[in-house]
Structure 1
Amino acid sequence: MPRVSRRKGDAARRHADTVRFVLFEARPAGLDFTQLVRATDLSACQVRSGIGALKDEAASRGWPPLTWTREVGYQLGADRTALEAYERAVVSQKLNEFRRFITGTVAPHAAAHPNDKWVKHIVAQLNSIESTLDLIASS
């Protein structure tokens, strides 16, 4: 029998329901991770699993998304400014990750093997992704 992803199993869905209930109770305020663990009476691992499952479930059911900021913590809601700030922060984070990956791994690989078909392909694709994320982050 194939193994079910932790984010799609029954336990993850129960943890997601618990996290969602606690976050609805806390609205409009958010909860940081430690507060979420205490309020749900779940372990840190269970809360992480529940957060992942809740993000997936919210997307599939059209519920307000789950966002996180350093100032507020985890929060459910569809406030336009909060969503835009969260999206910009995530895009900036991903842009930094891609740039570090390109400069730290892909560029040295390309320098060592300039005629490698794979490295040419990955350089072209990652440059495209970097350019797109840079446009989004700067707009």
Structure 2
Amino acid sequence: MFSDDPADWIEYEKKQLRTVLGRLTRMITGTLDPHLARNPDDEWAQLAIAQLTGVRATLAQLAK
């Protein structure tokens, strides 16, 4: 149950965003980076890394 203080809500939301950011970062570094290392010309992996890198940057800003 949330308190009535909006600062508590914001802190909770930021923690959730940091969790998502961590999972996304692990996806990029643990899955997409090795994929691209083995097959750098893979068009799908290049698109995925480009899109997810932008999402990661946005989440990092929101989680501050």
TM above 0.5, yes or no, is yes
Return closer, same or farther for 1:78/1:125 CA change in 2, 3 Å cut-off.
farther
Distance 1:126 1:83 in 2: 26
1:92 aligns with 2:18: yes
What is the match of residue 36 of structure 1? none
Q: Structure 1 counterpart of 2:55, which letter? A: I
1:81 aligns with 2:39: no
TM-score for the superposition, normalised by structure 2: 0.90
Q: Structure 2 counterpart of 1:113, which letter? A: N
What is the match of residue 19 of structure 1? none
Query: How many equivalent pairs are there?
Result: 64
Higher helix share: 2
What is the match of residue 32 of structure 2? 106
Distance 1:103 1:136 in 2: 21
Higher strand share: 1
What is the match of residue 115 of structure 1? 41
SS at match of 2:40: coil
* Structure 1 position 132, deviation (Å): 0.4
Structure 2: any 5+ residue segments left out of the alignment? none
In percent, how many aligned pairs have the same letter?
33
1:126 aligns with 2:23: no
TM-score for the superposition, normalised by structure 1: 0.43
> With CA pairs under 8 Å and 6+ residues apart, which has the higher RCO, 1 or 2?
2
Distance 2:2 2:63 in 1: 23
Structure 1: any 5+ residue segments left out of the alignment? 1-74
Q: Is the 8 A contact 2:18 2:63 kept in 1?
A: yes
